[in-house]
Amino acid sequence: MLEIAVGAGANFPYYDMAQVRLTAADFSPMMLKRAARIADELHMQVNLIESDIETLEFPEHSFDCVVSTLSLCGYDNPEQVLRNIRSWCRPDGRICLLEHGLGGNVFLKSAQHLLNPIARKMSGCHWNRDIVQIVKNSGLRIERMERYWGGMIHLIWARV
């Protein structure tokens, strides 16, 4: 499995390491240090890679599954990242996303558009991305989706 923009390894406790060989990447050495510590505490073997996800390269069909949580808000070109994921994943592979983006009603959307410049300045993160459209444009096939917090939080199970 591959986890992109792994951060401090918050998802590590949810992997069944008896079944999974995990590669995880992030461009922040500080985050990777924390992820390595969590992996140690959980007795997990994780291949940690320090890299910008937008320039990362893997051969085609390298992974059975790719995971991203709260990362599509940060990239310059999230659609291209998903296209790359699509090529790194085996044809029968699975892509699991937990992402925040535009909510489901017009008032929430307006507030998100309005506050986006501030969010960008404070956290480097976009609050107003249309996650469903980005996933669809990347060519991934959405198999199942759940949305929370007024539709802002997207849980997406996708296929190549």
CB of 61 to ligand SAM, least distance (A): 22
> Between 107 and 118, whose beta carbon lies closer to ligand SAM?
118
Which tokens sit at 54? 């937008």
CB of 55 to ligand SAM, least distance (A): 8
CB of 38 to ligand SAM, least distance (A): 11
Residue of this chain nearest to ligand SAM (CB atom): 7
CB of 21 to ligand SAM, least distance (A): 19
> Between 108 and 125, whose beta carbon lies closer to ligand SAM?
125
> Which of 45, 81, 49 is CA-nearest to residue 66?
81
> Between 50 and 60, whose beta carbon lies closer to ligand SAM?
50
Interacting residues with ligand SAM (CB under 6 A): 5-7, 10, 26-28, 31, 52-54, 69-71, 74-75
Those residues with Cβ within 8 angstroms of residue 86's Cβ, 6 or more apart along the chain or in another chain: 95, 138, 139, 140, 160
> Between 27 and 157, whose beta carbon lies closer to ligand SAM?
27
